[in-house]
Amino acid sequence: MSGHLFNRHCVFLGASGSGKTEIALNCAVHARERSGKEVCFFDMDQTKGLFRSRDFFDILSAYGINAMDTCRFQDAPVVPAGVLGKMDDPGTLCVFDVGGNPSGAAMMGQYAVKLRQTDSVYYYVINPCRPFMDTAEALELTMAGILRASNAAPDQIKIISNPNMGEETTAELAAAQHERLEALLRSFGMTPAALCAAETLAFGLTADVPLIPLRLFLRRFY
């Protein structure tokens, strides 16, 4: 991921199917490779059973990332232990993968004050190819519910455009859907901070925002 987009603590929010887990995994790996510091990956997604980042903890461990595991509780809605201690450690970078609805985002509300006190950013990931992304009104309503539940400060929020349709994604589709998303966001005064695409497609794209090539960790296993 682009270095200037990465902060000490990164929270990934977004509707289900936005691709936030894939981007969060990439962020953690990038941070570990570039910083050499301890990176802790917290799976805060307690709302669904499919495509959870904790299913890929073996991959994170292979990159030297400290994956904070809660699976020993058999997917009970339990917050990972040690969050505040790691957030207070200046030698640790924390990445949070958050559930894809207001209930999931509310898990981060208890850490909002701490996140405001540290070098932290909330990335709201949008896949404009997903359902309910056809109008500015629908997009704004979805975003408002999740962001309100997370208690994120407005100046800490950055939007990531992640247009894709899985294996059917082409560079042309990604470019067109990114432009459509930009238009939708402009209608209520927002703009993407970056565009994500699979690394096999990213180098064929151009954009007026930083372009982030993604390694597709999830596709490797599903």
Structure tokens at 217: 């960790």
Cβ contact 146:40 at 8 Å? no
Query: For residues 15 and 45, what is the distance between their CA atoms, to the nearest angstrom?
Result: 12
Percentage of the chain with pLDDT > 90? 66
- Mean pLDDT, rounded, for 145-158: 95
**What is the tens place of the pLDDT at every residue in 16-33?**
989 999 999 999 999 999
pLDDT in tens, 168-218: 999 999 999 999 999 999 999 999 999 999 999 988 899 999 999 999 988
What topology does CATH give the domain 3-221? Rossmann fold (3.40.50)
Q: 35-56 pLDDT, tens per residue?
A: 889 999 998 876 655 555 566 7
pLDDT, one tens digit per residue, over 96-113 is 999 899 998 998 999 999
> Can you tell me the distance from the alpha carbon of 190 to that of 165, in angstroms, rounded to the nearest whole number?
24
Cβ proximity of 125 and 17 under 8 Å: no
Would the pLDDT of 156 be above 90?
A: yes
Res 72: pLDDT: 44
Contact (CB, 8 A) for 129 and 20: no
- pLDDT value at 164 more than 60: yes
Between 24-38, 52-66, 133-147, the lowest mean confidence (pLDDT) is in 52-66
CB 65 within 8 A of CB 57: no
CB 56 within 8 A of CB 83: no
Name the β-bridge partners of 10.
Answer: 95, 121
Lowest mean pLDDT among 26-35, 77-86, 90-99, 134-143: 77-86
